[in-house]
């Protein structure tokens, strides 16, 4: 199959997800999207790389497609935004059959349909490997209401959604519910929207609580003290919950006066600590400093 045939097949797959404000999608040099009055647009981009984020021997093509979009949607959720459209660039090696590409887009578009996210375009290429995907997701949020990671203030309570460590456990022991969590992460889009006007800061947990909370505190010029029980995924260890990464839950802060229910948008919420003044980025846990040991692509200790 040549590239034109493949693009046409992808266009037909994506067409049912086209949105009212998507004036032009796949098939031209650019997509055209007309934003509504009074909304801010937010954009994110993420890589999905074979043998870094997935492996062909353990992840189906549909799993890879799902995860590619889930990573971007999780960033959109952290901003409190509504996803609008995505752009997908996919480079495959010569061993990746047409069927693999079809299944990749099937997995991606199934998740896109759940979140009413149009596939507006992208690019396709042959490469010597590994398989590499770059995804761009655009979302919208009422003007001035986007959640950010630099708004935490001393006295704010720290909360996380869901349970932590499930993806790391699934990666270590590829079976059961933990493995499903690793293969098919669920972006917390509705929760992010529900946090607008309540949260002072927010970000998604993609690289581990210890590292992501450190980043949030550094951006907000504050420190943190963890004093609550962590919501650990059943069977996972405390280190997996703290440093494991790829949970794609939301980490957020809110003033003590703002009542945060134990369940929001159908997702359990747990208070885990409080924001303190001083020592930007420092995290205290049981009178010890918690080091940011989550996943850092450029750390010498992190190798594919």
Helix (H) or strand (E) holding 41: strand 39-49
CA 136 to chain CA centroid, nearest Å: 12
What does the pLDDT look like over 201-256, one tens digit per residue?
999 999 999 999 999 999 999 999 999 789 999 999 999 999 999 999 999 999 99
pLDDT at residue 232 in the model: 97
Higher pLDDT, 161 or 303: 161
Q: What is the mean pLDDT of residues 1-26?
A: 77
Inter-CA distances, 250 with 21, 25, 69, 106, 293, Å:
28, 31, 17, 26, 18
Res. 18: pLDDT tops 80: no
Whole-number pLDDT of residue 304: 44
Q: What is the pLDDT of residue 1?
A: 61
Residue 96 has pLDDT above 90, yes or no: no
Q: Can you give 77-90 as a three-state secondary structure string?
A: HHCCCEEEEEEEEE
Give the model confidence (pLDDT) of 103-117 as tens digits: 999 999 999 999 999
2-35: b or e for each residue (b if 16 or more CB lie within 10 Å)? eeeebbeebeebbeebbeeebeebbeeeebebee
User: From CA 66, how far away is CA 71, in angstroms rounded?
Assistant: 9
Is the per-residue pLDDT at 17 higher than 70? no
**Residue 54: per-residue pLDDT:** 93
User: How large is the average pLDDT for residues 10-20?
Assistant: 73
Percentage of the chain with pLDDT > 90?
Answer: 80
Give the tens place of pLDDT for each residue, 120-158: 999 998 888 899 999 999 999 999 999 999 999 999 999
The total of other beta-carbon atoms located within 10 Å of residue 102's CB is: 17
- Could you tell me if 239 and 285 are in contact, meaning their C-beta atoms sit under 8 angstroms apart? no
DSSP string for residues in 127-195: -SSS-EEEEEEEEEEETT----SS---TTPEEEEES-BSHHHHHHHS--HHHHHHHHS----HHHHHHT
The percent of residues above 70 in pLDDT, for the chain, comes to 95
The chain-wide mean pLDDT, for the chain, equals 92
pTM: 0.92
Stretch among 1-15, 60-74, 233-247 having the lowest mean pLDDT: 1-15
pLDDT of 176 over the 90 cut: yes
Question: Is pLDDT of 14 > 70?
Answer: yes
| Average pLDDT score over residue span 161-168 | 98
Confidence of residue 15 (pLDDT cuts 50, 70, 90): confident
Give residue 10's pLDDT. 83
Using only C-alpha atoms, the chain has a radius of gyration, in whole angstroms, of 20
Q: Is the pLDDT of residue 296 over 80?
A: no
Question: Taking residues 295-303, what's their average pLDDT?
Answer: 59
Burial of 37 (0-12, 13-18, 19+ CB in 10 A): exposed
Judged by average pLDDT, the poorest of 13-22, 60-69, 155-164 is 13-22
Q: Is the pLDDT of residue 258 over 90?
A: yes
Mean pLDDT for the stretch of residues 184-205: 98
Domains of the chain: 3-142 (3.30.1330.10), 157-289 (3.90.650.10)
């Amino acid at each position: 199959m040549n590239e034109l045939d493949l693009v046409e097949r992808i266009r037909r797959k994506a067409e049912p997800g086209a949105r009212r404000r998507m004036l032009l999608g796949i098939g031209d040099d650019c997509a055209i999207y007309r934003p509504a009055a009074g909304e801010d647009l937010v954009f994110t981009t993420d890589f999905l790389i074979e043998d870094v984020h997935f492996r062909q021997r353990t992840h189906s093509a549909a799993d890879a497609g799902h995860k590619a979009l889930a990573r971007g949607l999780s960033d959109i959720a952290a901003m409190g935004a509504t996803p609008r459209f995505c752009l997908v660039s996919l480079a495959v090696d010569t061993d990746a059959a047409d069927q693999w590409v079809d299944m990749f887009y099937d997995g991606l578009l199934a998740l896109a349909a759940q979140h009413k996210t149009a596939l507006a375009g992208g690019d396709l290429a042959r490469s010597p490997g590994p398989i590499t995907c770059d995804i761009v997701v655009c979302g919208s949020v009422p003007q001035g209401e986007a959640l950010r990671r630099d708004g935490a203030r001393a006295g704010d309570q720290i909360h996380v959604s869901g349970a932590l460590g499930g993806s790391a456990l699934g990666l270590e022991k590829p079976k059961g519910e933990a493995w499903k969590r690793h293969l098919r992460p669920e972006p917390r889009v509705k929760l992010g929207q529900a946090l607008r006007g309540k949260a002072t800061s927010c970000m998604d947990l993609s690289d581990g609580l210890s590292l992501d909370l450190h980043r949030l505190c550094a951006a907000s010029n504050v420190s943190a003290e963890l004093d609550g029980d962590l919501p650990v995924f059943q069977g996972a260890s405390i280190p997996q919950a703290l440093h494991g990464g790829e949970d794609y839950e939301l980490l957020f802060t809110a003033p003590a006066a703002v009542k945060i229910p134990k369940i929001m948008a159908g997702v359990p919420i747990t208070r885990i600590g409080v924001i303190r003044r001083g020592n930007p980025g420092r995290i205290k846990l049981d009178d010890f400093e918690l080091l940011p040991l989550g996943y850092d692509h450029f750390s010498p200790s992190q190798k594919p």
